[in-house]
Copies of this chain bind each other. A is one copy, B any other.
C-alpha cells in the first residue's frame, strides 16, 4: 500500500507514527494515565486526532503500541539475550537491567498504566501476551535452552516456570512497592533460580 504512494509517503507515515508513540510515552511519564487524552497526544505529536484514530481504536491501544515500540531494536527486531556462555553472568546482566528499568520513574508510570489495563481487560491481556510477553519470553527461553544443552540447567525444567521464578518476584515487588529493586536483589533472584533448577 504505502509503496504505491512512494517512499516519501512511507517515510512520512513512519515519522508520524514515531512522533505519536513518543508523545504518548512523554505524556504518560508526565501525568496520571487517566488524565492523558488522545487529543493531548495528537497535539504533542503535531498531528490531527484523526491521524491517531485511523491507526489505533483507543487510548489504551496507542499506549500499548508505545510500549511495544520500546522493545523494538533499531532494525525493528526484538533483542536477543546475551550469551557469553556463562548463564549466571548473563542472567545477572539481564535482571540488573530489568530492575533498573522498573526503578526508572518515567518507565514506571507507563508500565503501571499498562498493567492496570491488562489486569482489568482480558482482551488486552491476551494481546499483551501474544505481541509483547511471548516474543520476549521466547528470546529468554532460547537462552535457557542453550544452558540446558550445556548442562547449566536441568533438562526437565519447565521453562515458563523458570521465567516466572526469575521475573515474577521482581514484578510483584515493583507493583506493590514492597521492597528495593537494586542490583543485589536482581542477583539474589538469579541465585535462587539457578539453585531451584540446577541439573
Taking Cβ atoms with an 8 Å cutoff, the residues of A that contact B are 32-33, 112, 115-116, 118-120, 122, 125-126, 128-129, 133, 158, 160-161, 164-165, 167-169, 171-173, 175-179, 188, 192-193, 195-198
A114 to chain B, nearest CB (A): 10
Please name all residues of chain B whose beta carbon is closer than 8 Å to the beta carbon of A32 when the two chains form the complex: 120
A172 near B178: Cβ-Cβ < 8 Å: no
A178 near B116: Cβ-Cβ < 8 Å: no
- Provide the bound-state CA to CA distance between A136 and B122, in Å: 29
Closest to A196 in B: B196
A38 to chain B, nearest CB (A): 19
Copies of this chain held together in the complex: 2
Please name all residues of chain B whose beta carbon is closer than 8 Å to the beta carbon of A193 when the two chains form the complex: 196
A176 near B120: Cβ-Cβ < 8 Å: no
Please name all residues of chain B whose beta carbon is closer than 8 Å to the beta carbon of A171 when the two chains form the complex: 168, 172
Q: Which of these, B116, B161, B176, contacts A133 with CB under 8 Å?
A: B176
Q: Which of these, B120, B164, B178, contacts A173 with CB under 8 Å?
A: B164
Closest 4 CB pairs of A and B: A164-B169, A196-B196, A168-B172, A168-B168
Please name all residues of chain B whose beta carbon is closer than 8 Å to the beta carbon of A128 when the two chains form the complex: 176
Query: Interface centre among A33, A158, A176, A179, by most B CB within 10 Å?
Result: A176
